[in-house]
Structure 1
Amino acid sequence: MPHASALTPSVPFLGPHAERYRLSTPHTPRAPKIARDFLVTLIGVQQPSLVEPGTLCMSEVVTNAIRHTRSPRIAIDVSIGDERVLVRVHDNRPCPLPAPKQPRHEEFEHGRGLALVEAPAARWGITFFGGLSPRSKAVWFELRAAAEVGDSGAIRPDLP
């Protein structure tokens, strides 16, 4: 039975009329900047209000994939709808699960990544691939032009 990898195409995100883009980057410290630049190129003109929160979220999620996995490649899917942008960052390590943490002190440099994603994202979560023995995951976040926030922080396999 075939299994999903960080480079396996996935289902459409925001419907059949959404624009969909994919980037694959090697496991390198330059990956977060490459991913941020990719997102800015895609949404900078059409949805400028989402650039700042989008680059923050992208940077945190890609940095986590680089810092906490050994996936040789990180795949990034971006789907752009009328008022929404959905981003999924795939890696080949389903565990340990990312979770927002409350840092002991605001000046701590590490441990705040998903809390930073949770604030501007309308919702975020994790999707596993590979059935009962997951072989990969995607950490995803959705941004909305109308800045509606809700349903965040879920580990829900039924969503993007």
Structure 2
Amino acid sequence: MNTTVDRLPAQQQPSPLSSRLPLSQAQPAVRAARHHAAKVLTGWGIDTAVIDDALVVISELITNAILHTRNGPAELQLRIQSQQLVIEVTDSCTDSVNSTVPRDDSDDDHGRGLAIVNALACAFGCQRLPGGKTVWAQMALQTQSV
């Protein structure tokens, strides 16, 4: 797992496959994001196993944004870049994501979201922005055979 903090994945050129979904506290943000992502990724022809993992990552990132931001998540962005799916959640919380992933044997009921993202993504990180941040994850488009 490659974790990078305070840097978004470099985008060489605009991807023809990209999608943005504004989210608000007034709507069920996690459900809306999962529904949108499933529809978009299916339309792009992404493998079902990759979609399933991406929906878990999206759920964790949106949930973290809701828990740590008074105004809720601001936006979900999906794009294909360099043969990878890039998931970005932008919110208005100025705190950076702690890059420390909790131990798997923790008895705490909370704090496992980034460990789940860490397990499913090729890389993830956080980019601070004026008035907020973007937390991102990159996922391989091909499922790994065991």
Return the TM-score normalized by structure 2.
Answer: 0.78
Quick one: structure 1 residues 25 and 17, their matched pair in 2 at CA, closer, same or farther if it must change by over 3 Å? closer
Partner of 1:60: 60
Q: How far 1:71 sits from its partner (Å)?
A: 2.4
Q: Specify every segment of 5 or more residues in structure 2 that has no aligned partner in the other structure, as ranges.
A: 1-9
Matches within 5 A, 1:65-144: 65-71=65-71, 73-81=73-81, 83-95=83-95, 97-99=97-99, 100-102=101-103, 104-105=106-107, 108-130=108-130, 135-144=131-140
Q: Which has the higher contact order (CA 8 A, sep 6+)?
A: 2
Whose helix proportion is higher, 1 or 2? Answer: 2
- Output one character per residue of 1:84-132: Cα deviation in whole Å (capped at 9) or x when no partner: 2101100111215344222522xx43110000000010110001113xx
Q: In structure 2, what is the Cα distance between the partners aligned to 1:97 and 1:120?
A: 17
**Letter paired with 2:102:** K
Quick one: structure 1 residues 73 and 126, their matched pair in 2 at CA, closer, same or farther if it must change by over 3 Å? closer
**Letter paired with 1:70:** R
Q: How far 1:80 sits from its partner (Å)?
A: 2.3
Aligned length: 133
Return the TM-score normalized by structure 1.
Answer: 0.72
Q: How far 1:27 sits from its partner (Å)?
A: 1.6
Quick one: structure 1 residues 21 and 14, their matched pair in 2 at CA, closer, same or farther if it must change by over 3 Å? farther
- Output one character per residue of 1:31-78: Cα deviation in whole Å (capped at 9) or x when no partner: 111111111111125112311110000000000000111125521111
| SS of residue paired to 1:44 | helix
| SS of residue paired to 2:18 | strand
Partner of 1:151: none
Matched-pair identity in %: 24
Q: In structure 1, what is the Cα distance between the partners aligned to 2:29 and 2:36?
A: 10
**Letter paired with 1:71:** N
Q: Is the 8 A contact 1:77 1:89 kept in 2?
A: yes
Q: In structure 1, what is the Cα distance between the partners aligned to 2:38 and 2:98?
A: 25
Runs of 4+ in 1 over 4 A off after TM superposition: none
Quick one: structure 1 residues 79 and 118, their matched pair in 2 at CA, closer, same or farther if it must change by over 3 Å? same
Q: How far 1:82 sits from its partner (Å)?
A: 6.8
Aligned residues: CA RMSD = 2.6
Q: In structure 2, what is the Cα distance between the partners aligned to 1:86 and 1:16?
A: 13
